[in-house]
């Protein structure tokens, strides 16, 4: 008797119990809706963050490429000179003026990349330091260009004025000694942050999905118990709580499906598309670095250290078997047309390497003019033409993956079931409140 009195003092009479039951079930429904909404909000933020972060990562990768290409264009300019000797034919697209214009384009792009990278607080100090070094590099290169431009006519291939070559070597030492390693570190740090964010976001999506399912099942059980109470107390086998249980079950299952679908889109965007884009961007940058080493080798007295540097970068891109950046891409073929495009890029890279062997053979055989002509040549079968074809082939693979990346992100954002969530939440609350209202009215 004392126990029943204590229970009654807590729960009160039947109307009070009905109100408490209705309030508890409504609160559970609101909690289910809140967790579902938080999951969907997190999904959208995660996918949008991945897209914005990859834009920054693209800037860090492009910075490495632009810095390398600046050096390659500077080397190419000094290879042919402003005043080439009579009889040495230089294609208009790679003469001194064209190389100078390409150098300036790269310089502007590098400045823009550094400004974007500096917006990230964790990278701003590195970006500012790089910007200072870039100023020193540009000053030395400008001096090299000026000296070469003021030199007498009749410059032989790969024989710029000694002062111009000295200025360029000073600048190139700055670039390869500090700027490129710093740029590479920025790209690596940024890439690691993307990997870490992806791991956290992917786990959170799955966790929210199962949390919504569990809450949905708890809501189903609570609603069915409430319906049982109504049946026992009011002799009503079915009530609106039964309909609410169906809505709660559907909401839980839909929440799980939506979250797992979002996680799948995130996986496609990150692992299947972005990872390929990252590897291919690095392949472009390092390939251009190797190409610059090739020109520098011709320009700087063909020292063994530059040939070794070239071969190391070639290995970084192609590697043995399926190693290197190209191997990473070939092991991650997932989209229509990607396999053919990646294979074509690998074959184009091999064609370029065959040109390099011919260049070195000519130069080592005393045919320096022929080596330079092959190096700067823009006709099919010549190094510049084959290198540009290879870079274009890489670009096509990047385009395929970029399109799939954008599609995956957009699909993930579009898959959010906000309308279904709102409708389900309103129906659940309506059914709970209606069931309580009817029982209260009946009791009275």
Q: What is the mean pLDDT of residues 144-165?
A: 92
- Res. 319 pLDDT band, cuts 50 70 90: confident
Residue scoring higher pLDDT (421 or 437): 421
Give pLDDT tens digits for 93-102.
899 999 999 9
Give pLDDT tens digits for 252-261.
999 999 999 9
**pLDDT over 70, % of the chain:** 94
Task: Categorise residue 321: left if φ over 0, alpha if ψ from -120 to 50, beta otherwise.
Answer: left
- Cα radius of gyration (the chain): 33
Q: In whole angstroms, what is the distance from residue 401 CA to residue 277 CA?
A: 6
Using alpha carbons, list the distances in angstroms from residue 267 to 74, 270, 346: 41, 5, 26
- Res. 295 pLDDT band, cuts 50 70 90: very high
- Res. 17 pLDDT band, cuts 50 70 90: confident
Q: What is the mean pLDDT of residues 275-292?
A: 92
pLDDT of 267 higher than 50? yes
pLDDT of 278 higher than 80? yes
Q: In whole angstroms, what is the distance from residue 374 CA to residue 424 CA?
A: 70
pLDDT of 430 higher than 70? yes
> In the predicted model, what is the mean pLDDT of the chain?
89
Can you give the pLDDT at residue 346? 95
pLDDT of 151 higher than 70? yes
Give pLDDT tens digits for 370-426.
999 999 999 999 999 999 999 999 999 999 999 999 999 988 877 677 888 888 888
- Res. 276 pLDDT band, cuts 50 70 90: very high
Q: What is the mean pLDDT of residues 423-431?
A: 87
- Res. 144 pLDDT band, cuts 50 70 90: very high
Q: Dump the DSSP string for 21-39.
A: HHHHHHHHHHHHHHHHHHH
């Amino acid at each position: 008797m004392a126990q029943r009195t204590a229970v009654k003092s807590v729960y009160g009479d039947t109307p009070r119990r009905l109100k408490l039951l209705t309030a508890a079930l409504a609160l559970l429904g609101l909690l289910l809706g809140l967790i579902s909404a938080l999951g969907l909000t997190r999904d959208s933020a995660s996918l949008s963050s991945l897209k914005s972060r990859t834009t920054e990562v693209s800037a860090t990768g492009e910075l490495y490429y632009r810095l390398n290409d600046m050096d390659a264009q500077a080397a190419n300019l000094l290879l042919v000179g402003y005043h080439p000797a009579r009889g040495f034919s230089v294609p208009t697209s790679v003469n001194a003026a064209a190389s100078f214009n390409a150098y300036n384009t790269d310089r502007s792009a590098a400045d823009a990349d550094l400004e974007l990278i500096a917006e990230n607080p964790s990278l701003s100090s590195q970006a500012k330091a790089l910007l200072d070094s870039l100023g020193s590099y540009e000053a030395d290169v400008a001096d090299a260009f000026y000296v070469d431009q003021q030199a007498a006519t009749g410059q032989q291939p790969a024989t710029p004025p000694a002062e111009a070559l000295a200025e360029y070597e000073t600048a190139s030492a700055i670039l390869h000694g500090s700027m490129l390693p710093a740029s590479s570190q920025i790209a690596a740090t940024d890439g690691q942050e993307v990997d870490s964010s992806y791991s956290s976001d992917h786990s959170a999506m799955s966790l929210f999905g199962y949390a919504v399912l569990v809450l949905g099942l708890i809501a189903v059980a609570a609603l069915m118990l409430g319906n049982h109470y109504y049946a026992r107390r009011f002799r009503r086998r079915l009530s609106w709580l039964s309909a609410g249980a169906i809505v709660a079950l559907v909401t839980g299952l839909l929440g799980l499906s939506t979250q797992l679908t979002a996680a799948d889109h995130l996986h496609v965007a990150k692992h299947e598309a972005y990872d390929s884009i990252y590897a291919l961007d690095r392949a472009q940058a390092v390939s251009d670095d190797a190409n610059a080493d090739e020109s520098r080798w011709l320009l700087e007295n063909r020292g063994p250290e530059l040939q070794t540097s070239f071969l190391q970068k070639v290995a970084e891109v192609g590697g043995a078997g399926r190693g290197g950046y190209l191997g990473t891409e070939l092991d991650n073929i997932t989209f229509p047309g990607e396999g053919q495009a990646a294979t074509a890029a690998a074959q184009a890279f091999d064609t370029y390497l065959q040109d390099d062997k011919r260049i070195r053979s000519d130069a080592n055989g005393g045919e320096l003019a022929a080596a330079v002509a092959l190096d700067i040549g823009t006709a099919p079968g010549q190094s510049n033409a084959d290198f540009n074809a290879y870079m274009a082939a890489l670009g096509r693979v990047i385009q395929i993956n970029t399109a799939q990346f954008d599609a995956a992100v957009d699909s993930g954002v579009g898959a959010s079931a906000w309308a279904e969530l709102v409708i389900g939440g309103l129906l659940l609350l309506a059914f709970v409140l209606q069931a309580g209202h009817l029982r209260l009215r009946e009791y009275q």
